[in-house]
Amino acid sequence: MGKLAITTGLCIAAAIISHAALAADQDYEPVNELESFAAHLIGPKIMDPEDSANYFVILPDGAIEGTWYGNTLTGTWRWEDGYFCRALTAPRPAPEDCQEWSVANDRAKLVRNRGAGDATIYALGE
């Protein structure tokens, strides 16, 4: 097989993968109202998709509780202008970060720094 055929094949494969990733990303429904956030994300376990022992729960009273890598995770949260703003108190303090959330089926995606930062995908449990 010639170099042109290999290069063309790789370009097609990259385009398919990019399209699949974009399509998967488009499946996420933005959660920008408190009512929608409460319906989807207050109460269920929000878990590391690779290890369900790592999880946290967003509680309706403004608290966050969970376990992450065997450590107790605690914090507080509030809703501000369409963003979930959280500050962690344990296992180590972390400053407030306002995050953009979206959901798709049994997954939730957050984007830190008001939607301008790194993204993380979690599994949603019961």
Q: Measured between alpha carbons, how far is 34 from 13 in angstroms, rounded to an integer?
A: 40
Does residue 112 sit within a domain?
yes
Q: What's the structural domain count of the chain?
A: 1
97's enclosing H/E stretch is strand 94-104
Is the Cα dihedral 61, 92, 45, 31 positive or negative? positive
- Is the bond preceding 91 in cis, omega lying within 30 degrees of 0? yes
Does residue 70 sit within a domain?
yes
* Per-residue pLDDT in tens (0 to 9) along the chain, 126 residues: 555 444 334 334 343 333 334 345 669 999 999 999 999 999 999 999 999 999 999 999 999 999 999 999 999 999 999 999 999 999 999 999 999 999 999 999 999 999 999 999 999 998
Residue 24 φ/ψ, nearest 5 degrees:
-65, -40
Q: Which range marks the domain in which residue 87 is found?
A: 30-124
Q: Residue 109: name the closest of 52, 30, 56, 19 by CA.
A: 30
Does residue 12 sit within a domain?
no
